Amino acid sequence: MTTDVSGDVSAAVSLRGVRKVFGEVAAVDGVDLDVRDGEFFAMLGPSGSGKTTVLRMIAGFETPTEGSVRLGGRDVTGLAPFDRDVNTVFQDYALFPHMNVLANVEYGLKVKKVPAKERRERALQALRTVRLEGYDKRKPGQLSGGQRQRVALARALVNRPKVLLLDEPLGALDLKLREEMQVELKAIQRQIGITFLFVTHDQEEALTMSDRIAVFNAGRIEQVGTPAEVYERPASPFVAGFVGTSNLIEGQAALDILGREGVYSVRPEKLRVDTRLDAELPRDENSATGTVAEVVYAGAATRFVVDLDAGGRLVAVQQNLQASSMDVLKLRDARVRLAWRREHEFSITGPM
């Protein structure tokens, strides 16, 4: 194997300078990406940012207009989907409705002419992995959404791909089931140890499940990092706003509050809302005064939207440790001081 200086040969998936143009639209506009072996990797971004197109180019359903795709160090840019060691789980599952669960899971192996006995054993094993033992005779129509999702997963896993591609795999499930499946998907990935590359537009899903996240915006990647890096040190205002609440302090407000120019941010849960405007402040804290524009009581926590005297607004989230709903709701229109530890404010320097 020859080593390409611009590509990481040990990476499970490696993209270099990948573009995809549909007519006038650059759906993907210059993407470099390395996904490590065994990683649970998320591509996160708003609708239309190019995530699915990237996934389809890795699977082989689309050919890049420019750039290269490598899998395990091997250039697969021009290869057909079935010549690549990947499998895809689609959001709509794409199960065959007339076939029972076992036949659905076996299908890929049948196409590959795997003998019937081995086919059956591997399919039953895959169904055990996704905890669907005993469901093999049912038709997809006799399953819940979560169970259909698992069949789709088993159908991909049965081929033992090096990389599993998942396009919004939990998108069709309601919130509670989605949260359960997030934990389960992660457990399955840990158990079988293959690389999972999944697409989501849900920041919380990306933060809770992934080893690393690539944040997409308009066909490009704005940042790649661990959940903590992306959340605590966003590389651009876009990332700060998409992965969490952006809470920007900029322009005159930055000069007045922090004494310097630039764009800064503090996460809502790092802000302390205080009605004592002139109580002494710890030496390691900064603060800003303002007026509460909105109070949203949400049981465990309350969300305050505060218009700063220096300009701009910040959102603060406080745990309702002692406070009742009555206590917090009467703070609407109140004068408050927001305080935070300096180590929790960060500067944002990337492109808008």
Question: Using CB under 5 A as the criterion, which residues of the chain lie in contact with Mg ion when the complex forms?
Answer: 52
**Closest CB to ligand ADP among residues 50, 60:** 50
The correct pick among 14, 52, 200, 302 for binding ligand ADP (CB under 6 A) is: 52
DSSP state string for 173-186: S-HHHHHHHHHHHH
Q: Report in angstroms the alpha-carbon separations of 319 from 181, 223, 282, 300.
A: 27, 30, 21, 6
SS3 203: helix
Name every residue whose Cβ is closer than 8 Å to that of residue 283 and which is 6 or more positions away in sequence.
Answer: none
Nearer to ligand ADP, 44 or 154 (CB): 44
Does 47 participate in binding ligand ADP (rule CB under 6 A)?
yes
**Burial degree of 241 (CB within 10 A; 0-12, 13-18, 19+):** middle
Give whole-number Cα distances, 322 to 171, 294, 338, in Å.
Answer: 36, 20, 18
List all residues 6 or more positions away from 66 whose beta carbon is below 8 Å from its beta carbon.
17, 18, 19
Q: Which is nearer to Mg ion, 52 or 88 (CB)?
A: 52
Query: Among all chains, which residue has been given the structure tokens 């500067």?
Result: 347
Helix (H/G/I), strand (E/B), else coil: 238: helix
Q: Can residue 89 be called a binding residue for ligand ADP (CB under 6 A)?
A: no
Start-to-end CA distance of the chain, whole Å, equals 41
Q: Please choose, from the candidates 189, 238, 230, 187, the residue with its C-alpha nearest in 3D space to the C-alpha of residue 212.
A: 230
Residue 49 partner contact from Mg ion, ligand ADP, none using kind-dependent CB cut-offs of 5 to 8 Å = ligand ADP
Of these partners, Mg ion, ligand ADP, none, which one is at the site of residue 22 (CB under 5 to 8 Å by kind)?
ligand ADP
Stretch 269-308: interaction string toward ligand ADP, x if CB under 6 A: ----------------------------------------
Q: Could you say whether residue 145 binds ligand ADP (CB under 6 A)?
A: no
CA atoms within 13 A on the CB side of 58: 34
What does 101 bind: Mg ion, ligand ADP, none (CB cut-off 5 to 8 Å by kind)?
none
Which entry of Mg ion, ligand ADP, none binds 244, CB below 5 to 8 A by partner kind? none
Contact criterion met (CB below 8 Å) for 37 and 14? no
Q: Return the residue of 12, 16, 18, 45 that touches ligand ADP, per CB under 6 A.
A: 45
Binding segment for ligand ADP (CB under 6 A), chosen from 44-52, 64-72, 181-189, 202-210, is 44-52
Q: How far is CA 108 from CA 105, 113, 307, in A?
A: 7, 9, 58
- Least distance between ligand ADP and beta carbon 242 (Å): 12
Which of 48/146 has CB closer to ligand ADP? 48
In a 3-state reduction of DSSP, which class is residue 59?
helix
When the beta carbons of 57 and 101 are compared against ligand ADP, the nearer one is 57
Window 3 to 42, contacts with ligand ADP (CB under 6 A): 22, 25, 27
Q: How far is the CB of 219 from ligand ADP (least distance, A)?
A: 7
Residue 48 touching ligand ADP (CB under 6 A):
yes
- Interface residue with ligand ADP among 51, 150, 178, 337 (CB under 6 A) is 51
User: For ligand ADP, how many residues bind (rule: CB under 6 A)?
Assistant: 11
Binding site for ligand ADP (CB under 6 A): 22, 25, 27, 45, 47-53
